[in-house]
Amino acid sequence: MAEFITVAKVAEVPPGTRIVVAYRRDDVALFNVDGRYYAFEDRCSHEDVPLSDGFIDGGELECTAHGARFDLNTGKATAPPAFGPVRRYEVRVEGDEIQISR
């Protein structure tokens, strides 16, 4: 069973923002998109650039380095030059805490 770990308080990630949190040994980019949370390993599958610098656009996350795009709901690459997915984490809110699980 997946183990959820508290990584942030809800107040730390208002809508339209993102932060980088730690999940075990991974840096994780945590986004609040209109009140929904999405979490990805903070590393583009193309060349390891932090995805926490990326843009959210139309249900996708775009890497700032070379424009690869990833589906927010699956982590799958939707536009080159990335072809592999990025690791996505499950996110839940418990009270005022945001928790993620791999």
Q: Cα dist. 41→25, 48, 57, 100 in Å?
A: 11, 10, 18, 11
Q: Where on the chain is the footprint of ligand FES (CB under 6 A)?
A: 44, 46-47, 49, 63, 65-68, 81-82
Shortest distance, position 80 Cβ to ligand FES, whole Å: 8
Name which of 51 and 100 has its Cβ closer to ligand FES.
51
C-alpha–C-alpha distance, residues 45 and 86, integer Å: 6
Work out how close the CB of 1 gets to ligand FES at its nearest, in angstroms, rounded to a whole number: 33
CB of residue 65 vs ligand FES: minimum separation in angstroms? 4
Closest approach of ligand FES to the CB of residue 91, in Å: 22
The residue (of 64 and 101) whose beta carbon lies closer to ligand FES is: 64
Residue 52 or 99 having the CB closest to ligand FES: 52
Three-state SS letters, 3-68: CCEEEEEHHHCCCCCEEEEEECCEEEEEEEECCEEEEEECCCCCCCCCHHHCEEECCEEECCCCCC
